Chains A and B, each alone.
Chain A
Amino acid sequence: MSEVDPILLSVYARSFKSTTDEMSISLQKTTRSPILCEAKDFVTGIYDAEGNILEQTENLPILSFSLGPVCKYIVDYFGDKIYPGDVIFHNDVFSMGNQNNDVAVYKPIFLDDRVVAWSACKGHQADIGGAVAGGYNPNATEVWQEALRIPPVKVCERGELRKDVWDLIFANIRFDIVQHDLRAQMGSCVVGERCILRLLEKYGLECFETHKKALFEATRRMMEAEIGTIPNGEYRGESTIYFDGRNQDRHYQIRVKITVEDRHIKFDYTGTDAQSNAFVNGTYTSSASATILTFLQMVNPDIPHNQGMVEPIEIIIPEGTILNAAFPAATTYGNHLCPPNADAIARALAPVVPDRVTAGWNHLLCSLTTGVDPRKDDKYVDICFMGLKGGSGALNGVDGYDHIGMIDASGGLLDQDYEMFEQQTPHVLVKHEYLCDSAGAGQWRGGLGVETIFEIGSDNTQLVIFGDGDVEPAFGLLGGGKGSLNSISVRYPDGREHTPLPLDLLTGVPKGTVYHQVAGGGGGYGDPHKRRKNEVFEEVRNEVISVEAARDVYGVAVDRQILEIDQAATSLLRNGGG
């Protein structure tokens, strides 16, 4: 047993991180779907021989905490039939996958004849078969209507591509670019493998194993110390899912009981409503990812993301609930149950650790557009990432962050570059700007939402709409105001306006239709009258707070003509006069 060298320990920790970062860069630079190369809707990771997390780069955290469990599943599934040069694909939500569209690639890393680690990455594919191009079939009631299921399957064995398997998979997927994007994912795994092998060559396996264990141990202690700062007790929170895509006015409650006991925290979702007969259902790993990523925002952000980090966290989600639907439910929407799940956790913990819990974040409302680009006579697919990101919730002492969106991504998901958007789709962008008065008011205001308008450039276009935040706005805390609501609408060339349901499918949309989306702001924190006057004034000048809201909500009177604070009127407003 070699000894633990403290400097070497941080070299290992950082090497793991730079490995997954390098894998992430590789994937971004080589993929072809804008969902991957522009928005970075993917994660990369490395795992030990048993599938324990060594490190991850979590561009989209909601995808992240499924890679480890699936790695363990694969290790069990193939047993000793894993060979050098194997490559394994997986997306199946009934064997620990989080979402059908998120296809993972795993590559075992061998030293001599022994698996010593795994490199893996998972990306949201432009298409995964099923009834609707691009996925998100709002009418699905079972998994086969949503996607091609890929339980663990070797697409390469001993370095040889299995052409029959490859062709079977891609015969069931609409877009050619998906093949190339999965080749890019395989490349990214090779990049990870090279980094790990370099480390092993340099330091040897024994040293690697010793330091890996020490790293898990140190990380676990860090996480336990963080949990230790939360008072022991049982805390309960709830939130509501307003629409399942099929049954109007059918609501579902998420119920969480959080138990803190010294250095251990348990999230128990027993009592959450039963699963729906539509596609608004979570999988175990999508829901557990949501829980973990929400909790990570309440602790020291510098904790390394390895197995030691997740060990002190216990998550119980009974099968058959809307957060962990039983086979063969439709579940594509599951990732997007993260916002209400996060709300329930925030409500439970806000009274206990008020300085660490934010007001509500804006929820996801999103569209996925597919069609044929008449300029190239070629298919395109686009998720409107720039439009879906509203504001984050405010925290005691800090305003919410503008336009970083749903908590599932927490600022890791990039907007399309506008010029690349116009290259990759036939649309013309009309507007993408901060939305005035969208942020929840407060001594610390919520993050701003955005307004997005573009003109659709293809005929017979299909729009899949999914999300929520159209009924209940992001909540405020301790006197802070609510954020604004989400909405999507279209205006057809004949002038007709249409507001789709938050889970909906629009087909045959003609060229020239104008798409209009609003992503709302985050919730505010504390009494708006306590916000500094000059800060309110600056935001009036910058047109993100209106003169009316400044007066009515913040108690700051701004003279519209000369653009200055009316001090007398302000003190009257703030000191009880108005």
Chain B
Amino acid sequence: MTIRIGIDVGGTFTDFLVLRDDKDPQIFKVLSTPADPSIGLINGLTEIAASFDLKLGELATSIDTIVHGTTVTTNAVLTHGGARTGLLTTEGVRDVLQMRRGIREEQYNNRYTNVPPLVPRYLRRPIKGRLNYCGETLRALDVEGALEAIRVFKREGIEAVAICFMNSFANPQQEKEAAELVRTELPGAYLTVSSDFLPSIRFYDRVSSTVLNSYVGPKLSSYLDRLRFRLKEIEFGGILLLMQSNGGVMAPGVARDSPARTLLSGPAAGPGAGLGYVRLHGYEDCITVDMGGTSFDAALVRDGKPIVVTDGEINRYRIALPMLDIVTIGAGGGSIGWIDEGGLLRLGPQSAGADPGPVCYGKGGTLPTCTDADLILGYLDADFFAGGKIRLNKDAAAGAIEGHIARPLNMSVEEAAAGMYRVINTNMAQGVRQITVKRGFDPREFPLVAAGGAGPLHSCMICHELEIPMFIVPRESSIFCAAGMLMSDLQHDFVRSFVSVFEHIEWAQLNAVISEMMQEGAELLRQENIPEERRRFVLNLDCRYLKQYHEVSFPVALETVRRADATSISEAFHAEHLKMYGYSLEEEKAPVELINVRLRAVGDTEKPTFAEEACVGADPEDALKGRRAVYVPEERTLQDVAVYDGHRTRCGHNIPGPAIIEQVNTTLFISSSYDCLCDCYGSFVTYRKGQEDRLPVTLQEMKV
């Protein structure tokens, strides 16, 4: 038996998707343990073992691969809870981190303030020593000054150090010397050296990325240590992989050295997962939304690819590494309702998280949350939350909403809960606007894939607000990212500078550099048990016209470089330049310069397969579970609404809204403006009444 498990640790729940040989994928969900997320992870494995009638150790030894997404680093940055970090930098330029090149993003907003720097000024220590623009030493490193700075760090209780000197991209020597001093004098500190971490030109990008890496490094290291210790304890001997911000996965050793590559580890699997589901219906574009306990992530997939940016930011901190373009807002089941100074009802961004959790969990929460409102409105069943594992206390929820929202606003508890439901839906619709309308895309033209434990309760009203005609709730929606992780390939990115004007390229040398990168990539993939036939290499060249300062990156077949086919490569460059920037200088024969060679080594992993079931007809009677009073937003009243068992719905079932479809881990609410059709993969395809024509072509026939 081989087992592969995707594990997504969220702020509230830890999700598991288990794939066993040819059996159906299985979903597990346990409460997260934010103080040490590895505990929740082991709790989940314990539960999985029990359900398979195995001892934990027996399960652990038969797990082939664990793919894991973590929000440890993300949370450290968002909450300013990273390590106490010191920066050693060149004398005279210590403020670049805080200046952020002297911009204010909102030019006309005089109330817009700068973000607090991750390292305060008195911990950014200037060191004498200087390299010139091409890496030659103008002044040797002042060792005594560096030692004095390290003494300050010691006194100030610094846990992590970042080293970034001017022009070190061209010569790492002085940074290496300083790193040695830090390793000797401050041996426990996490250390990032810019010339190792991101050896590319642009001082601000390097300082900011290097500092971020150190700032989150100790958190991730200690987490990985605990995780690996616990996995070793239960005799797990398989491969552990971590989700990276770029949508690929990597080994923990790589993550330890570049923790900043995990800043979007949690949500990065979402867009790929969404694409996996819409592709079954013939789409190459989609919007994915994932609403968990704490946060809401939205992303856009275009032309079959999640959108990747290399000039990204997290919380306005510059990070010059490739990452997916995902918008995150503080909206989840645990989002707390409150009333602002102006008397307006607000939801979040504060969250009750897993501990104490919503009031209705009865774990000590006293502030009313989105989940409490969902319970009052009948969307959740007090006796069937998490399949009955957690019993919800409706009276407690009502009491909290009464005290904190209804009474101050002078309304009934139901009205207050309906208000909370509406406010959070509007917030999330804004998040979807940010990734679509704000970039000039009409959200109505994209299928939306709704996921996360709380997502399907709210997705219908998000779509209603944005007039999105169709959305899909996959069967694995509650553990969407965990599923996406198992769909992700291993990806290792390599980059080498190779500066040469096109006519003068030494082809043999260029091919040697590429071979070297391919060997490195192959070696990593070999260590990850990827056989040769499943390894792929993708080559990109970064080129520019001579005297430009930014490059255009475009794919080139390895064979073309082997053939030294300069003509096809420069044609491809001109074409890409024309496509991106509206002109090319091909006619003028403007000289082209090669700057960087990028190689991505990809290890294709086994993807989960989706078994198709046969259509049984439209009548969902067999899946009807009962009826209960549920709030219908369009009518603004509680109505008697049919409740279906999502585990008994079958392909072809047509469920008219308003309705509730309950699964163990998630509940789908269909409002009175929408109907739902169950597809042959067990997903729920929900569409606006009267707009059957917007159903996927694959389903229109079924509908007729």
Q: Contact at B108–A422, with CB atoms within 8 Å?
A: no
Q: Contact at A395–B438, with CB atoms within 8 Å?
A: no
Given A414-B101, A544-B121, A422 contacting B133 (CB threshold 8 A) = yes
Residues of the B chain whose Cβ atoms lie less than 8 Å from the Cβ of A420: 201-202, 549
User: Counting CB contacts under 8 A, is B99 at the interface?
Assistant: yes
Q: Contact at A37–B549, with CB atoms within 8 Å?
A: yes
Stretch from B181-189, B335-343, B577-585 forming part of the interface with A? B577-585
Q: What mask results when residues 453 to 466 of chain B are scored 1 for a CB within 8 Å of chain A, else 0?
A: 00000000000001
Interface residues of A in 371-426 (CB under 8 A from B): 385-386, 389, 392, 395, 397-399, 401-405, 409-415, 417-420, 422-424
Q: How many residues of A contact B (CB 8 A)?
A: 79
Q: What mask results when residues 525 to 551 of chain A are scored 1 for a CB within 8 Å of chain B, else 0?
A: 000000000000010011110000000
Interface residues of B in 88-139 (CB under 8 A from A): 91-96, 98-99, 101-114, 120-122, 130, 132-133, 138
Given A187-B583, A543-B121, A58 contacting B107 (CB threshold 8 A) = yes
Q: Contact at A11–B110, with CB atoms within 8 Å?
A: no
Residues of the A chain whose Cβ atoms lie less than 8 Å from the Cβ of B674: none
Q: What mask results when residues 500 to 525 of chain A are scored 1 for a CB within 8 Å of chain B, else 0?
A: 00000000000000000000000000
Q: Contact at B103–A411, with CB atoms within 8 Å?
A: yes
User: Counting CB contacts under 8 A, is A19 at the interface?
Assistant: yes
Give the distance to chain A from B298, nearest Cβ to Cβ, in Å. 15
User: Counting CB contacts under 8 A, is A95 at the interface?
Assistant: no
Q: How many residues of B contact A (CB 8 A)?
A: 60
Listed residue (B108, B138, B467) with the most chain A CB atoms within 10 angstroms of its CB: B108
Residues of the B chain whose Cβ atoms lie less than 8 Å from the Cβ of A301: 106, 108-109, 112
Stretch from B260-268, B439-447, B561-569, B597-605 forming part of the interface with A? B439-447
Residues of the A chain whose Cβ atoms lie less than 8 Å from the Cβ of B201: 419-420, 423
User: Counting CB contacts under 8 A, is B550 at the interface?
Assistant: yes
With beta carbons under 8 angstroms apart, the residue of A186, A293, A358 that contacts B582 is A186
User: Counting CB contacts under 8 A, is B203 at the interface?
Assistant: yes
Q: Contact at B108–A297, with CB atoms within 8 Å?
A: yes
Bound CA–CA A194/B578 (angstroms): 12
Q: Contact at A399–B113, with CB atoms within 8 Å?
A: yes
Residues of the B chain whose Cβ atoms lie less than 8 Å from the Cβ of A180: 545, 547, 585, 590
User: Counting CB contacts under 8 A, is A158 at the interface?
Assistant: no
With beta carbons under 8 angstroms apart, the residue of A58, A189, A414, A418 that contacts B96 is A418
Residues of the B chain whose Cβ atoms lie less than 8 Å from the Cβ of A353: none
Residues of the B chain whose Cβ atoms lie less than 8 Å from the Cβ of A415: 99, 101-102
Q: What mask results when residues 185 to 200 of chain A are scored 1 for a CB within 8 Å of chain B, else 0?
A: 0111111011100000
User: Counting CB contacts under 8 A, is A428 at the interface?
Assistant: yes
Bound CA–CA A188/B582 (angstroms): 6
Stretch from A27-35, A78-86, A241-249, A330-338 forming part of the interface with B? A27-35
Bound CA–CA A3/B104 (angstroms): 38
With beta carbons under 8 angstroms apart, the residue of A58, A414, A419, A542 that contacts B203 is A419
Bound CA–CA A434/B133 (angstroms): 24
User: Counting CB contacts under 8 A, is A430 at the interface?
Assistant: yes
Give the distance to chain B from A237, nearest Cβ to Cβ, in Å. 18
User: Counting CB contacts under 8 A, is A453 at the interface?
Assistant: yes
User: Counting CB contacts under 8 A, is A61 at the interface?
Assistant: yes
Bound CA–CA A19/B582 (angstroms): 13
Bound CA–CA A127/B130 (angstroms): 33
Q: Contact at A184–B583, with CB atoms within 8 Å?
A: yes
Bound CA–CA A430/B108 (angstroms): 32
Q: Contact at B549–A404, with CB atoms within 8 Å?
A: no
With beta carbons under 8 angstroms apart, the residue of A184, A195, A433 that contacts B93 is A433
Given A411-B103, A418-B166, A423-B201, A398 contacting B582 (CB threshold 8 A) = no
Name the CB-closest residue of A to B580: A26
Interface residues of A in 355-383 (CB under 8 A from B): 358
User: Counting CB contacts under 8 A, is B548 at the interface?
Assistant: yes
Q: Contact at A429–B93, with CB atoms within 8 Å?
A: yes
With beta carbons under 8 angstroms apart, the residue of A389, A419, A453 that contacts B92 is A453
Bound CA–CA A56/B94 (angstroms): 35
User: Counting CB contacts under 8 A, is A38 at the interface?
Assistant: yes
Bound CA–CA A404/B553 (angstroms): 32
Q: Contact at B110–A32, with CB atoms within 8 Å?
A: no
Given A14-B440, A422-B133, A542 contacting B122 (CB threshold 8 A) = yes
Given A14-B440, A418-B203, A401 contacting B101 (CB threshold 8 A) = no
Given A419-B201, A420-B549, A543-B122, A19 contacting B440 (CB threshold 8 A) = yes
Bound CA–CA A430/B93 (angstroms): 8
Bound CA–CA A72/B92 (angstroms): 48
User: Counting CB contacts under 8 A, is B167 at the interface?
Assistant: yes
Q: Contact at A430–B92, with CB atoms within 8 Å?
A: yes
User: Counting CB contacts under 8 A, is A1 at the interface?
Assistant: no
Q: Contact at A428–B101, with CB atoms within 8 Å?
A: no
Bound CA–CA A191/B169 (angstroms): 34
Residues of the B chain whose Cβ atoms lie less than 8 Å from the Cβ of A7: 437, 442, 444, 466-467
Give the distance to chain B from A111, nearest Cβ to Cβ, in Å. 18
Q: Contact at B132–A422, with CB atoms within 8 Å?
A: yes
Q: Across the A-B interface, how many residue pairs have beta carbons closer than 8 Å? A: 189
Residues of the B chain whose Cβ atoms lie less than 8 Å from the Cβ of A11: 437, 440-442
Q: Contact at B110–A395, with CB atoms within 8 Å?
A: yes
Consensus secondary structure, chain B interface: loop
Q: What mask results when residues 198 to 219 of chain B are scored 1 for a CB within 8 Å of chain A, else 0?
A: 0001111100000000000000
Q: Contact at A403–B439, with CB atoms within 8 Å?
A: no
Give the distance to chain B from A475, nearest Cβ to Cβ, in Å. 16
With beta carbons under 8 angstroms apart, the residue of B95, B138, B442, B582 that contacts A434 is B95
Residues of the A chain whose Cβ atoms lie less than 8 Å from the Cβ of B111: 395, 397-398
Given A11-B437, A419-B166, A398 contacting B581 (CB threshold 8 A) = no
With beta carbons under 8 angstroms apart, the residue of A10, A417, A541 that contacts B204 is A417
Residues of the A chain whose Cβ atoms lie less than 8 Å from the Cβ of B442: 7-8, 11
Q: What mask results when residues 552 to 592 of chain B are scored 1 for a CB within 8 Å of chain A, else 0?
A: 10000000000000000000000001001111010000100
Residues of the A chain whose Cβ atoms lie less than 8 Å from the Cβ of B580: 26, 29
With beta carbons under 8 angstroms apart, the residue of A32, A194, A401 that contacts B547 is A32
User: Counting CB contacts under 8 A, is A214 at the interface?
Assistant: no
With beta carbons under 8 angstroms apart, the residue of B107, B167, B441 that contacts A419 is B167
Bound CA–CA A403/B98 (angstroms): 10
Q: What mask results when residues 27 to 61 of chain A are scored 1 for a CB within 8 Å of chain B, else 0?
A: 01111101001100000000000000000001001
User: Counting CB contacts under 8 A, is A310 at the interface?
Assistant: no
With beta carbons under 8 angstroms apart, the residue of A34, A58, A186 that contacts B583 is A186
Residues of the B chain whose Cβ atoms lie less than 8 Å from the Cβ of A412: 103-104, 107
Q: Contact at B107–A401, with CB atoms within 8 Å?
A: no
Name the CB-closest residue of B to A119: B582
Interface residues of B in 410-440 (CB under 8 A from A): 433, 437-440
Name the CB-closest residue of B to A10: B437
Q: Contact at A432–B93, with CB atoms within 8 Å?
A: yes
User: Counting CB contacts under 8 A, is A15 at the interface?
Assistant: yes
Give the distance to chain B from A187, nearest Cβ to Cβ, in Å. 4
Give the distance to chain A from B129, nearest Cβ to Cβ, in Å. 13
Bound CA–CA A8/B443 (angstroms): 10
Bound CA–CA A385/B101 (angstroms): 10
Residues of the A chain whose Cβ atoms lie less than 8 Å from the Cβ of B582: 26, 186-191, 193-194
Residues of the A chain whose Cβ atoms lie less than 8 Å from the Cβ of B98: 402, 434
With beta carbons under 8 angstroms apart, the residue of A184, A430, A542 that contacts B120 is A542
User: Counting CB contacts under 8 A, is A183 at the interface?
Assistant: yes
Bound CA–CA A194/B545 (angstroms): 23
Bound CA–CA A293/B442 (angstroms): 31
Bound CA–CA A348/B95 (angstroms): 36
Name the CB-closest residue of B to A411: B104
Q: Contact at A404–B95, with CB atoms within 8 Å?
A: no
Bound CA–CA A402/B97 (angstroms): 13
Residues of the B chain whose Cβ atoms lie less than 8 Å from the Cβ of A453: 92
User: Counting CB contacts under 8 A, is A18 at the interface?
Assistant: yes
Can you list 19 A-B contacts (CB < 8 A)?
A7-B437, A11-B441, A18-B438, A18-B439, A31-B548, A180-B545, A184-B581, A191-B581, A395-B111, A397-B111, A401-B113, A412-B107, A415-B101, A417-B205, A418-B204, A428-B138, A450-B95, A453-B92, A538-B120
Q: Which 5 pairs between the two chains have the least Cβ-Cβ distance?
A: A411-B104, A190-B582, A187-B583, A187-B582, A15-B440
